[in-house]
Structure 1
């Protein structure tokens, strides 16, 4: 049992320094859309300098280090895999199309949000940029990526369908498109679908705490920065998408909703893009 005497003679070690250190153990990205298999032994990146980060490697390590700081463990969380995706900021209710545009940055022919909007509008999938149907998103992705994606797979059971399968596919380079409820900081929450939003997931970080589930590396259109969300929190948020925001229902706009509404179109559903922009399959590493 610890005592006040222990605290005097055996003080806690100081926290890691905030100044940037050398990044000796992380590979350089000769191909910005390559899959990066990494270990958790990467050196630290300054959290203070996060806003000035220039490289994908520094950005990735910064979000890993935020988790490390929160968990307070001696062992760092392990970065299992990551595909760099370029950020795209959202203008208007086009979060799904922004997520699809961000995913397209992994191909040799990235697609603009405006191009995707025009195509989705022509097909009757959207009026203002909203995408309340996973089926419509998957159809749009299949047609837009028909030369650069091996398969567009709908996960009818969402992240709860088969966790090992989803993680393995991410480890092999697949990209996940997923609707969820966004909190004020755009992290997953549960508001019955009133804040329905889309994100693109392209990496996995394993917690240093054995009881914790993996974290998913994601981007969404309200920020340029990477996000790191617990797998189970994103799963719960995805599974609670039940109804249209009452404010939207009376805002004077007409939105395209599938038969059965938001619940039928989004609840507990997601999309995996297999081998998007990859010339060859990535070996399974999980």
Structure 2
């Protein structure tokens, strides 16, 4: 056995194709060396940052004497739930070099390579090496699709049928090697590589432009012909002097991603924009005090770099970033982010009184985190009984009315143009006609961790989606859910 220094991990290079093809054909003889070499040679011509790619462990330093002793193929994996993940297949170590730690060394290189490209999880399947992958930090998980991201958007059932069809075709034609298709008895496993993704800074002017475009697209859609009239966008005042740091969520961390984005706007670099809890309470309309279920003070000593995921795990709120308790989210907002948080709950009114306060809260300079059921394709509000439970950060709203005016609670809008239209207190306004009960208005402008495109939906659509959050999607046994179930329904969390 050579010394550890005699081995190097690298992206497959043209001069290594022949050696890699022989190793793969030896392990999986369903394809010839020539066929494998042609496929590997084609892969070498792709960009270094493109997936799929082949990573190898090489013995020797002189190019003419190098031998591929281990191989792994990395490709993109489209999770059935959330996130941006990769998968490793065709993992093999030359039989003459096994039992010397080379498999672990190659796997560490694979994980580092994928994480540097921004992939949050590594997936794989195995039917006989579970113990090896357990030792490398992997745990069992549900199956994910290996289809392209575009095909994965067809929906779970359609994706399953397509994968079965492609597998049968590949088996009959030899188009795919044996190791490229999971066996029925395979165990799926995964490992988290990143806690969070790189943030993308979005300044106030950028957010306003994106919000106006998103509102116009919503208003002009074919299903809403009566909403083509102009809508005036109102962004939270907290965004006027700070940027929003958008980030893609890793795995089921939609609530944690929403809190991080809120923290970036409300407490940039650790500076609390609204310095006192008294101010937070004064911002709450009178009716909100009767709806307040829990209020958490923002910690003065909160660190802007604190790990929300680690803190949530330590407190028993989550296993992998999922959060199904609005109270837990408020505690993390206050204790870890240093942001004041109040959870409003209106069970009797199916959330109406709480949700109607959101635009006014935004006018005051606050932000709101809301839970809803997301559509599987577009991430917009749906009604799936909680199987698509998701969090969004509400950063603004649009008044869909002829005056192009903001909605205010008996007071003029500060810093806005146009005629101001007052509305009655939600406690006295039952089902009065107008934009507060019209399904088309007001519109909420939101960001969430699955797309950097702003999401626009009506307040009523969001409320109805939130009101039916009853249960977690089946098959999520490792997620932390209280015996009493989800504590999300008919709730809104206000942040300042």
After TM superposition, is the score higher than 0.5?
yes
- Secondary structure of 2:307's counterpart equals helix
Which of residues 144, 152, 156 is equivalent to 2:336?
Answer: 144
Find the counterpart in structure 2 of residue 195 from structure 1: 388
Q: State the Cα distance separating 1:113 from its structure 2 match.
A: 9.4
Residue ranges of structure 2 left out of the alignment (5+ in a row): 1-201, 271-302, 403-434
| TM-aligned CA distance change 1:193 to 1:164, over 3 Å | closer
Find the counterpart in structure 1 of residue 367 from structure 2: 175
Q: State the Cα distance separating 1:164 from its structure 2 match.
A: 4.0
Q: Moved runs in structure 1, 4+ residues, more than 4 A?
A: 71-74, 110-114
Find the counterpart in structure 2 of residue 67 from structure 1: 218
Equivalent residues in 2 for 1:95-244 (5 A)?
A: 95-106=254-265, 107-109=267-269, 115-146=307-338, 149=339, 151-157=340-346, 159-184=351-376, 185-208=378-401, 211=438, 212-244=440-472
Asked whether the equivalents of residues 204 and 217 of structure 1 are also in contact (C-alpha less than 8 Å), the reply is yes
The one-character-per-residue Cα deviations of 1:131-175 (angstroms, maximum 9, x if unpaired) are 0111110111111233xx3x3101112742344433211111111
Q: Looking at both structures, which has the greater relative contact order when contacts are Cα pairs under 8 Å and sequence separation is at least 6?
A: 1
Q: State the Cα distance separating 1:114 from its structure 2 match.
A: 8.2
TM-score of the superposed pair, with normalisation by structure 2: 0.40
- Secondary structure of 2:255's counterpart equals helix
Find the counterpart in structure 2 of residue 247 from structure 1: 475
Pairing 1:90–2:249 present: yes
| TM-aligned CA distance change 1:234 to 1:224, over 3 Å | same
The one-character-per-residue Cα deviations of 1:240-280 (angstroms, maximum 9, x if unpaired) are 1001111324xxxx221123012xx1111221002xxxxxx
Larger Rg: 2
Residue ranges of structure 1 left out of the alignment (5+ in a row): 1-31, 35-53, 275-286
Whole-Å separation in 2 of the counterparts to 1:207 and 1:132 = 32
TM-score of the superposed pair, with normalisation by structure 1: 0.68
- Flag the structure with higher strand content: 2
Asked whether the equivalents of residues 89 and 224 of structure 1 are also in contact (C-alpha less than 8 Å), the reply is yes
